[in-house]
Structure 1
Amino acid sequence: MKSHSSFIVSVSKRNNIEKVQETRITEKRSEQGSNHTHFDLRKSLVENLFVMLERAIIKFIDPPLHLSVDPNHVLCDNFGPVDELSPTECDIIHGSSSILSSLEGVYIRIGPNPQFTPNGPHHYFDGDGMMQSLRISKGRATFCCRYVKTNKYSFEHQVGSYIVPNIIGGMQDLGPFLARVVLYNARAILGHYDMSKGFGVANTNLAYFGGRVYALCESDLPYEIKVKDDGDIITLGRHDFNGKLTLNMTAHPKVDPNTKEAFAFRYWATRPYLTYFRFDANGNKQPDVPIFSMKQSSLTHDLAITQKYAIIFDIQLGVDPMNFIRGRHLISVDPTKVPKIGILPRYATNESEIKWFDAPGINILHVVNAWDDIDDDGSEVIVLVASNILHVEHFMERLYMTEPSMEIVTIHFGTGTVSSKSMLIDNLEFPVINQAYVGKKNSLAIQVFYSAINEKTPTKTSMRRTLGVVKLDIFASENNKDKHKHIVASRMYGENCFGGEPFFVARDPEDPNSEEDDGYVVSYVHDESSGESKLLVMDARSPSLEIVAQVKLPQRVPYGLHGIFIREKTFKKI
């Protein structure tokens, strides 16, 4: 096990591929689909016509693809899609019965996994949602891999080809995008696609609230899913909460561990640019609170809650339909915009009490946690721990250059100012905490969270791979001048082994005396040399995050995005 300093230094070595990442592909994808110009006799004449028109767009209208939306580049190696797999029993390589009993339930991670090989522009985030689940029960582990059966997935599966224009990759240039929209609308008019049933991909995150589990993506409504006793995963359908939820919803709702309420929002390209709302403990959606005081579009990905407030972010990354006319990407960065943080009472019924704070240089992507506090002068403050994108201008085309910084942000009510302190700038992402501490401060002298640590520069794709996991103490001693003082434990996955988001599972969540880090950190890890994937179970209290159990998985597990663990007791209630 390397020391914390050498651990960080080892991942900061850059590969000599900067020039490759910056260049554009200058050749048309004339080879793609060139051997498939004949009619498919299994399809109708109209459907074959649509396919021919799509190929014409690719050949004659699409510009040369940037590497960030070239499917041959984006979907290589373990970022590439896999097939569905029915429930399959796995080999538990090692792990005691007491450890396995603490993990009884189901761990699910979700991520983009296109069901068809894209021909046109395709961003990694455009892929259909695929769930990779591991059910542990009575000492046995069962793995399953299923698509979220969204409206988009189901219809395209029936037709056998892409139908819906990619939300991100397809919006790079006006001409090709309009051509695809015309084609898409033609299908809808002819009854080949029902737009009212949604067009999202449900590929970003999973959440449990109101007694239900949802697959989420911020381009659509949630899709309810269910894990069966045999480990299989089924999609129950798109959920609009009795007609009270419209358009879309964040993929990162926050659930209060005590009240069981969920707090969420949606953003849009037109006013109101952001709308806040919440769900009661039974999952009943409460009325919308439109935030008209937000003056510009913001691609707000996450929010935070405390015991008193909801915290929203107005960042420099936004969506502007006029960009098409200006010859820019739909999603772009406004460098002149001053980011803001909005503080709203959790139970607000309108935006009259919202307070906005200028937060220069703070573009929040993922939130670790937040809590209410008092400063040395006795004034009210909110402390926020989150991942800040230092170079947001690279978010769409050069994601590996965004350089996230894990920061402690303090919002001062008395002075109306925001201050921030960087804990670490070492490509830390996918932070997770013990979910029992959401929205509150630990009363002890420590407060910890876990984060994936990514390679500095990707070797083959525009997405960075995860080299290991670190445990950080937010309240590390101020007297310690080591730049890595907040790191209290770490583990690298080994040569040519890469993981994804870690997830914390408490050993005994019902024990009131258990400490915040009393539990396990779990993650899927893939060995690119052998092609094998495993679930690693690490002791969250060990200085080396010692591996205490491993499960060998029956097929490759792509790196994916976010996940959830649902305990057996909760599982039985769903």
Structure 2
Amino acid sequence: MENETRKTANQNEHHEERSQSTLCDFPFAVSSVADLLENYDAVTNACLKKVIVGALVAAYVWVIWNNRNSLVFNKRGNPLSIIVFGVSMAVNPYTSTLLPSFSSKTHTQTTPIFSIKPTKVTKTSRKLATIKCAALQSSPLLHFPNSISGDQPHQWNFFQRTAAAALDMFEGVLVSRETRTPLPKTSDPRVQIAGNFAPVPEQTVRHNLPVSGVVPECVNGVYVRNGANPLFEPVAGHHLFDGDGMVHALTETHRLVQERELGRPIFPKAIGELHGHLGVARLALFYTRSLLGLVDHSKGMGVANAGLVYFNHRLLAMSEDDMPYEIKITASSDIETVGRYDFSEQLTSTMIAHPKLDPVSGEMFALSYDVVQKPYLKYFKFSKDGEKSPDVEIPLDMPTMMHDFAITENFVVVPDQQVVFKLEEMMKGGSPVVYDKTKVSRFGILSKNAENSDDMIWVDSPETFCFHLWNAWEEPESDEVVVIGSCMTPPDSIFNECDENLKSVLSEIRINLKTRTSTKRSIVKESEHLNLEAGMVNRDKLGRKTQFAYLAIAEPWPKVSGFAKVDLVSGEVKTFIYGDQKFGGEPFFLPSGPNSDREDDGYVLAFVHDEKTWKSELQIVNAMTMEMEASVKLPSRVPYGFHGTFISSKDLAEQAQNQACSFWTEAQLVSAVIRFQLLKKIFPVVDKYKW
């Protein structure tokens, strides 16, 4: 796939006549107030550039002087040599960077995606040779696909190169100050991306992998899983959620393309870096770079590392900070990023990472939230053919963390919980992601076909924070909507450092639409408590009453030692443990067929990593018997990730046909129109027929 390239900023031609009384050298004559108003934007840009350059030079000298004893110079000498270095960067784009880095030496690889066909292999026992990987296990940061480079894009002009050098120097000072004290665990790269959480480079498609057992007939297609896989080594704070999306291969987001071109991470990391005054400085630094044309945030800043959905012949990778990115699976089972997808210019905002597909209507439902300006939340849906409905603005008092929601047969269930965004907290030295103890959590019930939020019903549910909701359904006989989710305490523990151990309790929340009250209970008995996070129900039953849920056993947190099949009615729990020192991620339930009478007739798929042998595999477990059905040995390490999906061979064929039809229909249409017009001129009688 071709990388996107930034267009260089067009330089305005300077007129010979200039006003002698102006403070800035405008690229036109300003002789009156009318001229000034007519050229307001250009005047503003010219003044801003002058002010920015002056401020940067002053700040540059001040910061260098005040930090002369603590700066990391990377053996480049005294502050005077740094100033010379800054000028040289403007002239020579190949000067190496000043930014300090965390050491990382070991190289590993991974498999892109997992293409599966049923096998007739008899059950065998393949004993793997033990591989000692002491170096791998001891190194907290294993490998980063790209090393940081000091190269600058060749299309930058002298002004941009000089500004870039000054801003890079300023960022180096920020990093130097940030690394004087230990980072909190929630933003320390040595914690967040240690061991098998560390990123991996891309690898070509491999076929004919060794299989133990028999791959079921229904497992015929491609299993893809999204996850965070930072392309570059962090220069400062980093949270697991900040990593670039890898759908095993890389998701080519607009952000990633620019950072690859610049040879270093440049976009701010929403969770790992935006804390306190340094976070404010980083935001100011980023938008200054954007104003000067050094980066372009207009086409999105997201990492597309969380969710995956296959909808209307397209595979979409998502995170709630951007639009979805379309992913194409090629005939060779490789993955290519098509690009940012706006549903044919219908979508103009971000979209959360967990849209919901109605298994009956084929519609897709989604939310979009904004952390800066109202409306903080919007709801919309897409028909099965991809036609978007108008946005429904949902009034909220403050921007709220809304990673997931639920649907029923007739309603959308929207959580408005206690984890909120307060950007002003950064000015006080804190995190913008805040657990607001004064706020009461609640759920909003809205008709799927609503045109506005006037009839939305809000019901309080105190002390409830569900990062994920697994299902919801209606029980008309009691006027209730039943919501199944994992309630986390402390609510902000995955974003902010906390001494209290995280608990994730599978819960049933009953919302009475008539009395507008709610109740909550733990589904699993206290004596059998497990931290259950990341999973699903049978997606063919989504929005309808289900008996079973398949959830990751998040122990020891944040690793996943196995998964649990939970009876949502009785609370009975059956567990499958991946093995000694083996850990995985989200269990994916794949039904054995569309006409099965049993809800649990299917298989659970999960990528599993052995931390003793440092090998990875795909485990396929029979959901009814909870026994291993097959294991496929993978040629390389697969890091722990987030959410996945399965695309059947039938859907893959339809995707390929749809892409081919889209291309040829357009080409043939143009050709047909041209030929028709020529025929009309040569043979007027043709016009009588409806061609």
Partner of 2:204: 86
Partner of 1:317: 419
Q: Is the 8 A contact 2:273 2:279 kept in 1?
A: yes
Unpaired runs of 5+ residues, structure 2, are 1-69, 77-81, 86-94, 97-149, 154-160, 656-691
Larger Cα-atom Rg = 2
TM-score by length of 1: 0.84
1:559 maps to 2:659: no
Partner of 2:484: 385
Q: Is the 8 A contact 1:393 1:402 kept in 2?
A: no
Say which SS state the counterpart of residue 399 (structure 2) adopts.
coil
State the distance in 2 between where 1:384 and 1:182 align: 41
Task: Quickly say closer, same or farther: Cα 1:548–1:356, change in 2 above 3 A.
Answer: same
Choose between structure 1 and 2: higher helix proportion.
2
Partner of 1:165: 268
Q: Is the 8 A contact 1:465 1:499 kept in 2?
A: yes
Partner of 1:286: 389
> Out of 478, 491, 494, which is 2:579 matched to?
494
1:340 maps to 2:442: yes
1:414 maps to 2:530: no
State the distance in 2 between where 1:260 and 1:439 align: 12
Q: Is the 8 A contact 1:379 1:413 kept in 2?
A: no
Highest RCO, 1 vs 2 (Cα 8 Å, sep ≥ 6) = 1
Task: Quickly say closer, same or farther: Cα 1:193–1:525, change in 2 above 3 A.
Answer: same
> Out of 233, 237, 241, which is 1:125 matched to?
241
Q: Which amino acid counterpart does residue 623 of structure 2 have in structure 1?
A: A
> Out of 541, 549, 554, which is 2:630 matched to?
549
State the distance in 1 between where 2:297 and 2:207 align: 39
Q: CA deviation at 1:106?
A: 0.5
Q: Which amino acid counterpart does residue 191 of structure 2 have in structure 1?
A: H
State the distance in 1 between where 2:567 and 2:478 align: 25
State the distance in 2 between where 1:516 and 1:501 align: 19
TM-score by length of 2: 0.70
1:275 maps to 2:360: no
Q: CA deviation at 1:279?
A: 0.8
Q: Is the 8 A contact 2:71 2:173 kept in 1?
A: no
Q: Is the 8 A contact 1:173 1:328 kept in 2?
A: yes
Identity of aligned residues (%): 35
C-alpha offsets along residues 194-246 of structure 1, whole Å, 9 cap, x if unaligned?
Answer: 21111110000101122211000001111111111111101111112233323
1:148 maps to 2:251: yes
State the distance in 1 between where 2:421 and 2:411 align: 26
Partner of 1:135: none
Q: Is the 8 A contact 2:151 2:262 kept in 1?
A: no
Partner of 1:109: 225
Say which SS state the counterpart of residue 226 (structure 2) adopts.
strand
Q: Is the 8 A contact 1:367 1:431 kept in 2?
A: no
C-alpha offsets along residues 457-476 of structure 1, whole Å, 9 cap, x if unaligned?
Answer: x5xxxxx1001111011111
Task: Quickly say closer, same or farther: Cα 1:359–1:55, change in 2 above 3 A.
Answer: same
What does 1:456-467 correspond to in 2, within 5 Å? 456=556, 458=557, 464-467=558-561
Aligned residues: 502
Partner of 1:18: none
What does 1:78-477 correspond to in 2, within 5 Å? 78-96=196-214, 99-132=215-248, 146-174=249-277, 176-269=278-371, 270-292=373-395, 294-374=396-476, 378-398=477-497, 401-424=501-524, 425-442=529-546, 447-456=547-556, 458=557, 464-476=558-570
Say which SS state the counterpart of residue 283 (structure 2) adopts.
helix
Q: CA RMSD in A?
A: 2.0
State the distance in 2 between where 1:63 and 1:283 align: 51
C-alpha offsets along residues 368-422 of structure 1, whole Å, 9 cap, x if unaligned?
Answer: 1111103xxx431111111111321423124883311101111112221101110
Q: CA deviation at 1:34?
A: 4.2
State the distance in 2 between where 1:393 and 1:105 align: 38
Choose between structure 1 and 2: higher strand proportion.
1
State the distance in 2 between where 1:525 and 1:32 align: 40
Partner of 1:56: 173
State the distance in 2 between where 1:474 and 1:527 align: 31
Q: Which amino acid counterpart does residue 56 of structure 1 have in structure 2?
A: V
State the distance in 2 between where 1:107 and 1:35 align: 48
State the distance in 1 between where 2:653 and 2:288 align: 45
Q: CA deviation at 1:63?
A: 6.2
> Out of 182, 187, 190, which is 1:72 matched to?
190
Say which SS state the counterpart of residue 86 (structure 1) adopts.
coil
Unpaired runs of 5+ residues, structure 1, are 1-29, 133-145, 459-463, 477-484
